[in-house]
Amino acid sequence: MTSPAPRLSALLAELGQRAPRGMVLGLDRVREALAALGDPHAAAPAVHVAGTNGKGSVCAMVESVARAAGLRTGLYTSPHLSRFAERIRIGGEAIGDAAFERALAAALSEVPSPLTFFEALTVAAFVAFRDAEVDLAIVEVGLGGRLDATNVIEAPLCTAITSIALDHEALLGPTVADVAREKAGILKPGAPAVLGPLTPDADAAIEATAQAIGAGPRLRVAPAGRDARPGEITVGRGRRDGRATRVAGPGHREVEVELGLRGAHQAENAGVACGIAWQLAARWPALERALPAGLAAARWPGRLERLEAGAAQVLLDCAHNPHGAQALAAWLDEEGPGAARTALVFGAMSDKGWGEMLKALAPRAQRRFYVTPRGRAAAPLEALRAIAPGEPVGDPGAAVARALEGAAPGGLVVVAGSIYLVGEVRSALLGITPDPVVTL
């Protein structure tokens, strides 16, 4: 892969220098910057998606459906796996160097006050979407919701909250209800909302916020194991094909499709994506017709992504918190080759629930290799060994090589625990020259 042009490389280096400031929550600087640039965030209608897990997958599904319906799309997600440009996609493709250079230059040098790393990329995304004249922008929240830089979207066509679990407690609060209230900050007066399966306390906190601000109608995906209530979206196995997912919604709406994104948990994400499309169908009727094709075609790198590696496969999954690890464990139970033919390459950030994550994944792999991902402080290798016996290798590339050396034909090497880890391994396996690692 070719390196970025010199000026873009210089801008990316300047962007990286903003990272040590960390994640500074608040909207004033972003609003001021956008006003100076002519409010590019108001140029295209938007869908705004929050959630502890699943928000990226939902954004990828909605974007794929919108393209299948003939819309020109803009997609903003975070973090990236290999290159900064992955965060801003136009028409399904990472932004080109020339457009990225223009948008990033505006965000870094044409605004009144210096922006943080994430703020600058968010402003650049809105500039890029305006310049590309997208029909629909799909925007993923970075952290939380209420004070996230993306929450400058004042009148979204639809908002969504995919799931609520404890994560980033120091910033979002110590309870599920606290986290839910922070994520509910993206709800807007009159804008419809779609809610993924939620615990009662999370749902109550979000509903209280919705009522207080006069949010638009809510569509809910029914939690598994509970009887569906009138008006809810239900998900399950297809009636005609057991590998397909069936999503049924109010008004006798129904979609049955084999999802492009694998894993039982993606059925619930598909339920949220369908709800968003149904909410937008009054404006773009083609969205509803495009649901089967769009959901089947959706791709989201690093999420149960399988890469061939000789006689074995490498499974990359960005499970980086206990909720995500449990979803990966469920997939391994249903689709994996069994613990005897599975190796685990695991490394996690020290501020994540790495102990709980490893306890979920370790029984699914007979061989385990513990690594230190690039980025923030990582979980100590010896502490990982204390939870489940394994080999401390440190370097992710060396650990994957060791795991593959001992893999039987048809075996599986699972790489999980940190998005930084997945990005590093994926770049190496695919021969991608990654941009410098940036930690927040």
Q: What is the pLDDT of residues 270-306, one digit of tens each?
A: 999 999 999 999 999 999 999 999 999 999 999 999 9
pLDDT of residue 263: 87
Q: What is the mean pLDDT of residues 138-158?
A: 95
Q: Taking Cα atoms as reference points, which of 123, 124, 126, 121 lies closest to residue 138?
A: 126
Long-range CB contacts (within 8 A, 24+) of 405-411: 406/343, 406/367, 407/310, 407/311, 407/312, 407/341, 407/343, 408/311, 408/312, 408/341, 409/311, 409/312, 410/311, 410/312, 410/337, 410/341, 411/311, 411/312, 411/313, 411/337, 411/341, 411/342, 411/343
Give rounded-to-5 percent helix, strand, coil for the chain.
45, 20, 40
The better pLDDT of the pair 23, 389 is held by 389
pLDDT of residue 233: 95
pLDDT of residue 390: 97
pLDDT of residue 57: 95
User: Is residue 253 very low, low, confident or very high in pLDDT (cuts 50, 70, 90)?
Assistant: very high
Q: What is the mean pLDDT of residues 253-265?
A: 92
CA 352 to chain centre: 17
Phi-psi region of 439 (alpha: psi -120 to 50; beta: other; left: phi over 0): beta
Q: What residue type is assigned to position 382 of the chain?
A: E
**Cα angle 190, 88, 431; round to 5:** 145
| Beta strands 46-50 and 158-161, pairing class | parallel
pLDDT of residue 19: 82
d(CA 383, CA 380): 5
Residue 93 has pLDDT above 70, yes or no: yes
pLDDT of residue 15: 92
Mean pLDDT of the chain: 93
User: Is residue 87 very low, low, confident or very high in pLDDT (cuts 50, 70, 90)?
Assistant: very high
Residue 169 has pLDDT above 70, yes or no: no
Helix ranges (DSSP H) in 281-371: 286-297, 322-335, 354-361
Q: What residue type is assigned to position 227 of the chain?
A: D
Residues near 170 by beta carbon (within 8 Å), at least 6 away in sequence: none
Residue 215 has pLDDT above 90, yes or no: yes
Tally the C-alpha atoms within 13 A of residue 270's C-alpha that lie toward its C-beta. 32
Q: Which of the residue ranges 167-176, 314-323, 409-418, 423-432 would you say has the lowest mean pLDDT?
A: 167-176
Q: Which of the residue ranges 76-85, 242-251, 274-283, 431-440 would you say has the lowest mean pLDDT?
A: 431-440
Q: Which of the residue ranges 29-38, 64-73, 315-324 would you say has the lowest mean pLDDT?
A: 315-324
d(CA 332, CA 338): 8
d(CA 233, CA 13): 45
Q: Find the length of the chain.
A: 440
CATH architecture of 6-297: 3-Layer(aba) Sandwich (3.40)
User: Is residue 440 very low, low, confident or very high in pLDDT (cuts 50, 70, 90)?
Assistant: low
Sorted by where each begins, the domain ranges of the chain are 6-297, 305-430
Q: What is the mean pLDDT of residues 357-379?
A: 94
> Residues 182, 145: contact at Cβ < 8 Å?
yes
Residue 1 has pLDDT above 60, yes or no: no
> Residues 356, 325: contact at Cβ < 8 Å?
yes
Percent of the chain with pLDDT over 90: 81
Q: Which of the residue ranges 95-104, 138-147, 185-194, 238-247 would you say has the lowest mean pLDDT?
A: 238-247
Q: What residue type is assigned to position 209 of the chain?
A: T
305-430 has the same fold as 6-297: no
The pLDDT tens digits for 371-383 are 999 877 899 999 9
Q: Which of the residue ranges 98-102, 120-124, 168-172, 281-285 would you say has the lowest mean pLDDT?
A: 168-172
The pLDDT tens digits for 185-203 are 999 999 999 999 999 999 9
User: Is residue 170 very low, low, confident or very high in pLDDT (cuts 50, 70, 90)?
Assistant: low
The pLDDT tens digits for 17-60 are 888 766 777 899 999 999 999 999 999 999 999 999 899 999 99
The string of DSSP codes covering 248-301 is: EETTTEEEEE--SS-STHHHHHHHHHHHHHHHHTTT-THHHHHHHHHHHH---T
Count other C-beta atoms under 10 Å from residue 285's C-beta.
11
Does domain 305-430 fall under CATH 3.90.190.20? My reply is yes
Count other C-beta atoms under 10 Å from residue 267's C-beta.
19
